[in-house]
Structure 1
Amino acid sequence: MPAELFDLFWQFMLFSLLAFGGGGTVLGLVDRVAVADKGWITPAEFSAAVGFTFITPGPILVLAPFVGYLVAGAAGAVVATLGVFLAPWALAMGSAHRLRRYLQHPRLRAFGKGAGPAIVGLFSLAVLTIARSSLSNLALVAVALIAGTLMARTKLHPIIILAGGALAGLVLGIPALEGALPEIRIP
């Protein structure tokens, strides 16, 4: 296996081990590794991949083959996807028969209580990463705030809210408006 394919496999296997609470928790890490550290993909490609993952089930399961394909074609898509599945599968196979016995153990319960706040931190990094690439002007910040408010205060389906945001993005992204809205930078 060429070095790049092995590296893709290895990185996505590590991502899957860190995805407590779902694939969204590792978006910041994927961005750091795939964009900043390895230079496999551009920030724009990462933003497109993340946007696509949120309109499909299982963000990391869509992100892995997307990044893998951009890096090494079909073989990259396959090994990145295998990397996502291998570690959780091995952990599940190795621990399933013992887990029931230990579910009430104080240390395992303490692990769960500590993992919750860590998941909040990981999600915070994912939110910050997406915000940096998505919220480039005040109009787009308004779209984000409206979407969050609608999600919190109404029973609208998330797909409807996402579609509304996408439509707003189309309207706000019209070339005639480019430069008309003040740019912002999130640190």
Structure 2
Amino acid sequence: MSSLIQLALSFSLLSILAVGGGTAVLPEMQTLLAHQFGIDHTQFVHIYSIGQLAPGPNMLMVLVIGYQVAGLVGAGVVLLSFFLPSSFLCFYVGRLWNHFGENPWRRSIQNALEPISIGLMGSGVYAVGKASLVSGITAALALMSFYLILRTKINPVLVILGSGGFGAVLIAYLT
């Protein structure tokens, strides 16, 4: 199967499964990329990190994946495949949702989807964390970053860049 068709099918499915946002599909995306396209967990974490630093939606990181697999055309295929299906689905489900107004089952569905979304996002955070925390140094940097973002008003981008720079120097010095 052509890599472009494989990219389109894979990212279309991920798009529809992204209940609660793109973070919800990170574990599945990571597994899929490793099995179908040879992108290992370390490369995935690096691509994810770029997506977190880039302005705009962090899931634009999928463009980097498409580019790495099939060049500029691959990036375009992944862009359309990942964002269009969920956009159409949201548009039409949103129209249907508004049509039913304040029916009691509407709130029941919302109440059921909320913990599912939180669980899926948590699994995404776990998957990226598991692939990222490869040593005591990376664990310490993660805890330090978490603390700084949670307890201070420092811009998270500066915390990420500072931790990355400090980590690079520290790892280079210790190895």
% same residue: 27
Deviation at 1:158, TM superposition (A): 1.3
Question: Is residue 2:158 matched to residue 1:163?
Answer: no
Tell me the equivalent position of 1:173.
171
Amino acid at match of 1:68: G
Instruction: Provide the C-alpha distance between the structure 1 equivalents of 2:144 and 2:18, rounded to a whole number of angstroms.
Output: 28
Q: TM-score, normalised by structure 2?
A: 0.88
Deviations along 1:126-168, one digit per CA (max 9) or x if unpaired, are 1222122211111221111121122222222211221221122
User: Which contiguous aligned blocks of 4+ residues in structure 1 show a shift greater than 4 angstroms?
Assistant: none
Tell me the equivalent position of 1:27.
26
Instruction: Provide the C-alpha distance between the structure 2 equivalents of 1:133 and 1:97, rounded to a whole number of angstroms.
Output: 39
Which moves more between the two structures, 79-88 or 161-170?
161-170
Pair 1:131–1:98, CA change in 2 (3 A) = closer
Deviation at 1:118, TM superposition (A): 1.4
Question: Is residue 2:57 matched to residue 1:58?
Answer: yes
Deviations along 1:41-83, one digit per CA (max 9) or x if unpaired, are 22232121011011123222x2221111111112111111110
Structure 2 counterparts to residues 119-130 of structure 1, below 5 A: 119-130=117-128
CA contact (8 A) 1:55 1:159 kept: yes
Deviation at 1:12, TM superposition (A): 1.0
Deviation at 1:96, TM superposition (A): 4.1
Instruction: Provide the C-alpha distance between the structure 1 equivalents of 2:10 and 2:19, rounded to a whole number of angstroms.
Output: 16
- For 2:39, what is the secondary structure of its paired residue? coil
RMSD between aligned alpha carbons? Answer: 1.9
Instruction: Provide the C-alpha distance between the structure 1 equivalents of 2:9 and 2:120, rounded to a whole number of angstroms.
Output: 20
Amino acid at match of 1:23: G
Tell me the equivalent position of 2:68.
70
CA contact (8 A) 1:103 1:109 kept: no
Q: TM-score, normalised by structure 1?
A: 0.83
CA contact (8 A) 2:21 2:121 kept: no
Q: Which runs of 5+ in 1 are unaligned?
A: 179-187
